[in-house]
Amino acid sequence: MADQEKNLPKASETDQAPCESGCSGHGCGNASGGEPRCKLHSYNWLADIPGGYADSDMVEVTFKNTRKGYYKNSTHIPLEIGDMVAVEASPGHDIGMVTLTGLLVERRMKSMRAGGDRRRGRDAKETEEIKRVFRKAKPGDLERYEEARAKENDTMIRARQIAADLKLNMKIGDVEYQGDGNKAIFYYIADERVDFRQLIKVLAETFKVRIEMKQIGARQEAGRIGGIGPCGRPLCCSQWMTNFVSVATSAARYQDISLNPQKLAGQCAKLKCCLNFEVDAYVEGSKRVPGKEIRLETADATYFHFKTDIFKREITYSTDKNMAANLVTISADRAFEIIALNKSGEKPLSLRPEGDAKPREKAAFGDILGEDDLTRFDKKKRKKKKKPAQRPEDEAKPRQEGERPAGDKLRKKKRSPKPGSGDKPAAPKPPKE
């Protein structure tokens, strides 16, 4: 027990040392140890398999923001999640944090390569060369790495000025230095194709490092900058999302969301990524309800689709195609029964089943405030007359026949005549001589 307490990181170290993803403290993995609980965290659900079946030489290493890579631990260094390591780069080496180890890394590599091969249109067997882990990061490596990261903001501002002087239609959103400080990656956004050959020459002469330009989209830029979404929580792209999937307006149609571009767009001016989170559940649920184009025929009218509650499997129909008129809500099973009857040439008397012909009464507690009736102000409240309190001595005293209780005695008060009333005021008395 004492040995376990020695290996635990101190609270001051975990609260102050930032991790590679940009967050700091509160149980997040960093150089002092601990398991990462931030943006690029991956839960290793194969770690508790006994017998060494989940062991692997591959490790996942995370760098700044969303950049991460897979490296081979060829020298069999004892690595754990949260260790800072020096890995192979071109040229030199880079510094990153181990975020995943074991057999799960190989599975993630296969899925990632399969997706990349499909996008590039080549055979999945053709793979790139796997780089290796050099060593655990030494204090000198970490010091040089922190010095390189301290120059990133000033480098980005200066690079923006250089791009503006060259009149290039592009925006430099972020700069990332390599762990050894010999290379800098410039992330930029551009609507059109940009010829930045002259820009690379000027940047190389100014900063004396090797320059690499990478184009990113609006979603990747929002993930790097961060912010608060309309839901009141930090942006998903800046917290945990690493792979961005295209979002279509059909996702909003499946969920019956209003096609308002101001509400559907996020801070990146693109469709919100969260539209894809629940669309699969809506697509599966829509298969268990009738289509919107189907009409229901009854003996008295024709009903058109008005709205659908997919998860309750309730459909509301209207007698008018363009507006809400004589709305009737039935279950999906009842709708399928009527569709089957209409196909056989029969028309039921009403949409509701025979045992449930009357509409359900609205519950009194259906509204949260209980004040949804517009005529609630027309009802006059009658004031109840308060009965005079009976004194204890009157209760003890026995009443005689024909005698009223003490509280029922009426007290008459003389009232002064109101101005303008029929009673004339008394004439004033003459003054005495």
Listed residue (26, 38, 27) closest to 62, CA to CA: 38
User: Is residue 85 predicted with pLDDT exceeding 90?
Assistant: yes
Residues 292-314, mean pLDDT to the nearest whole number: 89
Q: Which residue has the tokens 């009737």?
A: 328
Coil vs helix vs strand at 189 = strand
User: Is residue 161 predicted with pLDDT exceeding 90?
Assistant: yes
pTM > 0.85: no
Q: How far is the first Cα of the chain from the last one, in angstroms, to the nearest whole number?
A: 118
Tell me if the bond preceding 91 is cis, omega within 30° of 0: yes
Listed residue (325, 393, 267) closest to 316, CA to CA: 325
pLDDT number for residue 21? 43
User: Quick count: other Cβ atoms within 10 Å of Cβ 22?
Assistant: 14
The letter for the amino acid at 215 is: Q
Rounded distance between C-alpha atoms, residue 328 and residue 358, angstroms: 11
Q: Which of 51-60, 208-217, 247-256 has the lowest mean pLDDT?
A: 51-60
Inter-residue contact 308 to 289 (CB < 8 Å): yes
For residue 343, report the phi and psi dihedrals to the nearest 5 degrees. -65, -30
Which residues make Cβ contacts (< 8 Å) with residue 208, sequence separation at least 6?
none
- Kindly indicate the confidence band of residue 129, based on its pLDDT and cuts at 50, 70 and 90: confident
Q: Which of 76-90, 209-223, 360-374 has the lowest mean pLDDT?
A: 360-374
- Kindly indicate the confidence band of residue 12, based on its pLDDT and cuts at 50, 70 and 90: very low
Rounded distance between C-alpha atoms, residue 219 and residue 222, angstroms: 5
Task: List strand residue ranges (DSSP E) for 154-312, in order.
Answer: 171-177, 183-189, 210-215, 296-297, 302-309
pLDDT number for residue 120? 47
